[in-house]
Every structure is written in C-alpha cells, then in structure tokens.
Amino acid sequence: MAELSKKPTPDVAEHNAFFPSEYSLSQFTAPVSDLSDFEYATKYKGDKKILIIASDERYVLMDNGTFFSTGNHPVETLVPMYHLAEAGWDFEIVTLSGNPVKFEFWAMPKEDTRLKEFFERYAEQFKQPKKLSDVIADGLDKYFALYIPGGHGALVGLDESRDVKAALKHFQDRNEFIITICHGPAGLLAGAIDENPEDFMFRGYDICLLPDIVDRTSPDMGYMPGHLRWYMGTRLAELGMNILNENIDGSVHRDRNLLSGDSPLAANNLGKLAAKTLLESL
C-alpha cells in the first residue's frame, strides 16, 4: 500500500494556496465525530439565543508567502452547537463582514449523518449571517452567551476587531458565558485593543486551546503549507492568560464565565460542559 503524501494539496481557487496533505487528513480527521451524551432532561425555555462569531475568511497567509485554505472547523463549530440546541437554545450566527461563514469542509465527518443534517438546519444562516456591528447596534441583551468556534480562519481579523471587543466586553461585564475552542481564543485577543496588558479582561484566566507547539510542527506533515506569522498562545500568555494544556487530548476547562476546549478532540466534551453549565445557571 502506497504511503500517503505529506505534501499540501493545491487549492486551485487561489494562487499558491493549499489544503492539508493526504497524510495529515488521515491523522486529524475522521468519518464520524464523537458526538454523544446529548440528552438533557431540563431544557432552556426562554427566547435568548447564543451569539456565534464565525469566520468569514478562507485564507491564512503563511510566513513563506503561501496561503492555507481554512475557515471554521466543522466539528468544533457544530458539535458544541448540537449540545446547546439539544439543551434548548437557538443561535444567531454573525461574521465581521456579514459575508458567508467559511468552513474547512475537508474536516467534515463524511459518514456522520446527525452532524451533516444539523449543518443543513443552519445552512442558510451560515450562508447569510448577520454582520456583527449590526447586531451590536441592535443590542446584545437578547443573547444568553457568546461562542467563538475554532479553525485557523479565526486567526484572521478577530484579534483586531473592535466589534469583537465590544461583544466580549458586553458578556464579560455581565459575567455571562463566553465559550471557545481550539483557535477560537484568537478572538479573545480583541479584548486587549487599546488597553494596557495589565488591564486585559481575561488576565489571570485559565484556558484550554490549541497550543502553539501543534501549529509549529504541523507543517512537517503538510497540514499547513508553511508556518504561521504569529502564534495565538504566545500572545495570550503575554497578556497574562494561563494555558493549561501542552498538547491536545480533548481537555476542556471552566474558569469563571469562560468555557474552553483544546481542539476538535474536545468538541463533544465542550458541548456537554457548555450545555450543563448554562442550564445550571438558569
């Protein structure tokens, strides 16, 4: 049997852009997700939705001038959503621009009927999300919690968005829940815009996320066509956050109102943690 290639796969839709290699996909994707344990005896009966800030960016520029073809990771996005939906919540999906949500469809579990059907339930919202600034102008009191899913697309723009900062500040000031996974914590960096590091709203918080070492070594197997130009974990640590995990094993954590998970391996665990925590807060 021929060995799978570790060369990134060209994305013909963009010059010098690449999907992950065959080998890396064999290591980091699966035909079904680990979605399980989603029966909730108590359900939310109110009308407040979960606000989801998703990525509208397809390409991340690497340090060697290539593009990584990315977006939001479908398992990281959909599995926690599935749990929250089973617990009674609906969603408002937004992007910075109001343009469609981008997905890493190469990571969609192709044999996972439940997850694919769940995606179809929200396909129109993903295709036509609201613009974050419009939602902020309309008022954020109608939302119960904020979710920033992962995927490398979260590294493009969320960290520099004053709209993301405004959303974070709203939920943080009210001690309402902020949920994030994998690369989603890049959005938390927006909380430092125009602030002194010692005033960062998440300073001193513990968090699980995709550690920098994974991103630094993933080009070796062709997952990305080059190295990132900056690293999320390094920047969050410089702002005073405590990163709990050194690798990825499905770890999740709650620190006050912040719920976090380390990778796609944590999607089901984070979904259960989020649903249980939000229900217990009622």
Residues marked as catalytic: 182
Residues 1, 222: Cα–Cα separation, whole Å = 20
Contacts of 76 (CB under 8 A, 6+ apart): 149, 150, 151, 181, 182, 184, 261, 263, 264, 267
Q: Which residue has the tokens 């130009």?
A: 229
Residues 81, 78: Cα–Cα separation, whole Å = 5
Contact 222, 20 (CB under 8 A): yes
Strands 130-131 and 143-148: unpaired
Contact 186, 159 (CB under 8 A): yes
Greatest CA separation for the chain: 58
What distances in angstroms separate CA 224 from CA 66, 110, 217, 218, 259, one per listed residue?
9, 21, 9, 6, 27
Backbone dihedral angles phi then psi of residue 224, each to the nearest 5 degrees = -115, 150
- Cα of 49 vs its chain's centroid, Å: 18
Joined together, the tokens standing for residue 16 give 């010098």
Q: Which of 36, 29, 32, 33 is nearest to 9 (CA)?
A: 29
Contact 21, 222 (CB under 8 A): yes
